[in-house]
Amino acid sequence: DIAIKYGVIGLPTFIIFKHGEVIATQAGGSRKAQLRSFIEKNI
| pLDDT digit string, tens, across residues 1-43 | 999 999 999 999 999 999 999 999 999 999 999 999 999 999 9
CATH number of the domain that 13 lies in? 3.40.30.10
Give me the number of domains the chain comprises.
1
Rounded Cα distance between 20 and 35, Å, is 21
* pLDDT for the residue numbered 18: 97
- As a whole number of Å, the CA-based R_g of the chain is 11
Range of the structural domain that residue 25 is part of: 2-42
Residue 43 DSSP code: -
Find out whether 17 and 40 touch, Cβ atoms under 8 Å.
no
* pLDDT for the residue numbered 24: 98
Report the amino acid identity of residue 18: K
Q: Under DSSP, is residue 2 helix (H, G, I), strand (E, B) or coil?
A: helix
